[in-house]
Structure 1
């Protein structure tokens, strides 16, 4: 059977539709929805005649739709599975049902912690509970922790060496720990892990990849390793990651919004992606032998931001693992670990632009032979995810220009309002789906302080996200425009501590967003005041 085959394996065949049927149904739903929305946009623009500008607006609108529509159907399917399936996890990850909770672990697992110029005390604080739990699990001999440092700050490097030496003493005779620091971070994180594979990879069966901010319970690692052990064709098992509770307002709102939408979205996408799931680079278990044989990444030809080492290496490694005939799956459970979110909008933008730059390198891999169709789609989608931002900015600018230049009645206002009220719940479908699941369960809202507190928090989080998204649209657009001219983000340490952003710094970095928002809203006030409430949804951020 080829790596791209969609014939259901026996354990999955008895769980409703085959993988191929799931993908066909999902593609049909997405295509029909996109087509319907495009037709509705044409109807909005038709009364004044359909010229070149209208065609451009429709084309830009079509570019923005895949992310919205796919997210909507992922959320709907995820909600139906979470709400009505007897065992939602087993539907998307059949091996989970076969992994006994207390089964013996027979393979050797490396715990890989990748760090670069991180505060050592913070990393050790995050790592210590995991290693202590594994040491006390009864399977300590099956685990070996590796701290893979690319730190180039001499003071931090010295503190790292001392801190991890002390942690090693704590774990002496209980759990093995190795600290290694490279003098140069060749290949960035992918190169860091490749160096581990070359040195120690043949000594272990599996590797658990962690970031410096990963906080993972030992029970989660044990569960994921057991699942990988019962399925010899499972190459990567990605765990769901939840944002850590935070103190900054930005991080708290972002964390709650992501937590609210992540599970329904992930379950829905895992239902049809199945064995072609994602890999996010951390909080996952890798089967080391095929990873070493098939997932090594060479530097891309050329110079500049799109050449050299691959920044967003994780999804490329996932599609290569699938091409080799191994499955990549997601375990959609919320108790598998946490990660820290950026404490401020500025840090969030920097992180997102680094991902944007990495995703733009994916076009080099679109022509790889023998990729599974879903794998090729994932690479295209990862690129379009960021190209949707300039499409939205173009829509806003053209829409404002048309409003100023066109006479009254040039658009079908009834169709425009219908389009808006259709799209609005689609944008928030992942959050609304999880919210519906929680409030309809007897104790579903209890962890959030009850239904009233959950509803208030959900409204606040969704409002926050609606303000955040236009800011990111323009940030992506400006960054993408600069890529051909050599603009790049690079890969440095993240600022993880809460801190205030001076007003002057915020204005210096975010003035384009402020100027665009004010300009679009001013155009609507002058030319189409009735559309101002709708324009606020897009331009208020």
Structure 2
């Protein structure tokens, strides 16, 4: 029976609890909750009747609700599964429980590492523990690593050639490694992977996608590949990705909050999304034949920032894979891989705006024929995620004006709405926190209950300051997109670095002005409401010092010394992170960060370095750009 035919068969989970029923229940809960919150907001605005301004506030409030309410119910469902189910992972992905950890692997897997103007020594350090583990497993002949370079800087390209030739030689005869460089990055990361598919895809059955900052244990790759190989219905299996222990204060606070939130949110969303799961573009396994046949992305019409090649390609590829009849699922385990989070607020904003631009391109795919309803929801939700930011900015500005100069606010419904929304914003973190605290030894890996709670409070307070800053950043960027101004695709600054106050002020003055103006208006007109207004406006008002302080080396050292937001992997590092730390400490301290010089017009043609490839793969010694 072909994989295409098997893909249509229902899974065990579908037979025991139909996925359609789960989705109907989830949609009903979300709709009822949004209706209730809108009704409460209308009651708060009702003194003197609903004016035109009140109706505008309700529309804006409605636009903010999907992300909050969906996140809340994902967290509630995730909490129930984490606390009630004997095996939470098997509940949302039954195939994971059926696969033996020692099952043989018959297919060939390509390990794809996409890079652009990155320091090669960092890539080697992150990749080598994975290759060592695969080679030591006795299955090295079933894997071949490809370094897919889109580097435009000639000096970095030369360093890549030398570094990866040395790495290929180190694994000679044990595991194949190929370095390939394109002269341009047409199509960005999606184009990079498409070039691989067109050139080498026919040689492999599966591909594991990695980003430049990805670190995966060999055990995780073997587990993911075994699950995909055992279930021919699976087209994409996404592994849960968590943040690596960080020395930057910003990254430390951010990823602790994310770590808590991802646990319940991912389990809850996987329960009802089921076979229409997410793909985040890295730390996942792709079934190559249907991926090549059905997931190629053509350039969009137009030349502006919303035309041309798709920046956020991953979720589009997921919905196309699902349309082709193959499942897309997530494996919600916290041992499958790590990533680096931006070390500063400025880098975080830059990364988020690139995602914003990519998500805004999704509207062109909403009308694709034969998409699953959940797939259309995922695309629409990705768009609304950023459109909610202008709505929040509008509420931040118009809400105080309505309270000061309108017909008044009904205190009872307004306070009820505030105290309902506040925990809903943090429902994923609170749900994971509660799930751990109510289990024997559930908080042990995080240093015990008191330390877990203290770090969670610090991380959530930080996020409450950060999120409104991002609202205005998104809003300004969306306005720029309307005038044809987008963002480029450059290498990220991954190393810790200070942010001078002057730089922060130059980039974050709009947030500062907005936050200070709102706080001043509330203080002058309705001083009793100042504590509630501060929940939203304090972060923007403090954006400049927040950016500088959280990037300062002394602040990161202070948090680390106090054990604040210390991850389990920092207390007891797994083998892959110990190997990475050892390689980092032994590397030369004179290595410099990647250059940011523009590409030369005399760029040499792309070339390829390869060790003797894995069994069954032809030897490759040179290549040209497609």
TM-score of the aligned structures, taking structure 1 as reference length: 0.98
Deviation string for 1:363-382 (max 9, x for gaps)? 00011000000000100000
Report the Cα distance in structure 2 between the residues aligned to 1:178 and 1:25, rounded to whole angstroms: 48
Instruction: Work out whether residues 209 and 285 of structure 2, in 8 Å CA contact, stay in contact via their aligned partners in 1.
Output: yes
Worse-matched range after superposition: 377-386 or 46-55? 46-55
Q: CA deviation at 1:403?
A: 2.3
Instruction: Work out whether residues 8 and 325 of structure 2, in 8 Å CA contact, stay in contact via their aligned partners in 1.
Output: no
Cross-structure match for 1:465:
463
CA distance 1:8–1:74, shift in 2 (3 Å): farther
Pairing partner for 2:418 from 412, 417, 420: 420
What are structure 1's unaligned runs of at least 5 residues?
none
Cross-structure match for 2:308:
308
Cross-structure match for 1:451:
449
Deviation string for 1:145-196 (max 9, x for gaps)? 0000000111111111100111111111111001100111111000000000
Cross-structure match for 2:12:
11
Aligned length: 534
Cross-structure match for 2:487:
489
Cross-structure match for 1:258:
258
CA distance 1:284–1:493, shift in 2 (3 Å): same
Report the Cα distance in structure 1 between the residues aligned to 2:387 and 2:82, rounded to whole angstroms: 32
Does 2:111 match 1:139? no
Output aligned runs, 1:67-216, within 5 Å: 67-216=67-216
Pairing partner for 1:514 from 490, 512, 515: 512
Q: CA deviation at 1:484?
A: 1.4
Instruction: Work out whether residues 393 and 474 of structure 1, in 8 Å CA contact, stay in contact via their aligned partners in 2.
Output: yes
Cross-structure match for 1:58:
58
Report the Cα distance in structure 2 between the residues aligned to 1:174 and 1:13, rounded to whole angstroms: 41
CA distance 1:513–1:353, shift in 2 (3 Å): same
SS in structure 2 of the partner of residue 145 of structure 1: strand
Q: CA deviation at 1:97?
A: 1.4
Report the Cα distance in structure 2 between the residues aligned to 1:165 and 1:182, rounded to whole angstroms: 17
SS in structure 2 of the partner of residue 48 of structure 1: coil
Q: CA deviation at 1:529?
A: 1.1
Instruction: Work out whether residues 263 and 332 of structure 2, in 8 Å CA contact, stay in contact via their aligned partners in 1.
Output: yes
Pairing partner for 2:503 from 496, 502, 505: 505
SS in structure 2 of the partner of residue 209 of structure 1: strand
Output aligned runs, 1:284-433, within 5 Å: 284-406=284-406, 410-433=408-431
Report the Cα distance in structure 1 between the residues aligned to 2:517 and 2:323, rounded to whole angstroms: 48
Pairing partner for 1:536 from 534, 537, 547: 534
Deviation string for 1:388-424 (max 9, x for gaps)? 00000001111121123135xx210111000000001
Q: CA deviation at 1:69?
A: 0.2
Q: CA deviation at 1:461?
A: 0.3
Q: CA deviation at 1:87?
A: 1.4
Deviation string for 1:79-126 (max 9, x for gaps)? 100111011111111211111111000110000000000011111100
Instruction: Work out whether residues 48 and 411 of structure 1, in 8 Å CA contact, stay in contact via their aligned partners in 2.
Output: no
TM-score of the aligned structures, taking structure 2 as reference length: 0.84
Report the Cα distance in structure 1 between the residues aligned to 2:81 and 2:418, rounded to whole angstroms: 28
Report the Cα distance in structure 2 between the residues aligned to 1:262 and 1:508, rounded to whole angstroms: 33
Q: Hey, which bits of structure 1, 4+ residues long, moved more than 2 A? A: none
CA distance 1:381–1:340, shift in 2 (3 Å): same
Instruction: Work out whether residues 215 and 337 of structure 1, in 8 Å CA contact, stay in contact via their aligned partners in 2.
Output: yes
- Give the alignment's Cα RMSD to 1 decimal: 1.1
Cross-structure match for 1:436:
434
Instruction: Work out whether residues 91 and 271 of structure 1, in 8 Å CA contact, stay in contact via their aligned partners in 2.
Output: yes
